[in-house]
Amino acid sequence: GAGVSQSPSNKVTEKGKDVELRCDPISGHTALYWYRQRLGQGLEFLIYFQGNSAPDKSGLPSDRFSAERTGESVSTLTIQRTQQEDSAVYLCASSLYGVWSNQPQHFGDGTRLSIL
């Protein structure tokens, strides 16, 4: 596609439910990143994919968070047993090559997650 696509745009769910967030990177981009942005804050790195492997999961805040990627395309971020502190905007980005850090990252519009 023309840009990074994320769905849903907004998600409201009850505490304790599981949620899945989806990211479609730019076609041909091998690297994919997930970030979390709490209200009024900067972005926090969650996880990086190179192809379908995840060399760095260091930003995942707890074992309730997991992510997977199919080949060099779609990625899903899953949050199990959601808590109110999980409320944030979750942003996905992709870049052409992950191993060269000067490649610009292109961001999607994010998913705003609200936990009631």
Partner 1 sequence: AQTVTQSQPEMSVQEAETVTLSCTYDTSESDYYLFWYKQPPSRQMILVIRQEAYKQQNATENRFSVNFQKAAKSFSLKISDSQLGDAAMYFCAYIRGGTSYGKLTFGQGTILTVHP
Closest approach, Cβ 81 to partner 1, in A, equals: 26
Could you tell me the smallest distance in angstroms from the CB atom of residue 82 to partner 1?
20
Q: Given candidates 11, 86, 95, 113, which one binds partner 1 under the rule CB under 8 A?
A: 95
The strand order across the sheet containing 75-79 reads 5-7, 19-24, 75-79, 65-69
Provide the minimum distance between the beta carbon of 16 and partner 1 in the complex, in angstroms, as a whole number: 26
Q: Is 42 in the site for partner 1 (CB under 8 A)?
A: yes
Q: Considering only 20-28, 64-72, 79-87, 104-112, which stretch makes contact with partner 1 by CB under 8 A?
A: 104-112
Q: Residue 39: CB partners within 8 Å, gap ≥ 6?
A: 87, 88
Write out the binding residues for partner 1, residues 52-71 only, by CB under 8 A.
55-56, 59
Q: How many C-beta atoms surround the C-beta of residue 39 within 10 A?
A: 8
Pick the binder of partner 1 from 19, 29, 48, 82 (CB under 8 A). 48
Nearer to partner 1, 45 or 85 (CB): 45
Q: CA-to-CA distance for 83 and 20, rounded, in angstroms?
A: 14
Q: Does residue 45 bind partner 1 (CB under 8 A)? A: yes
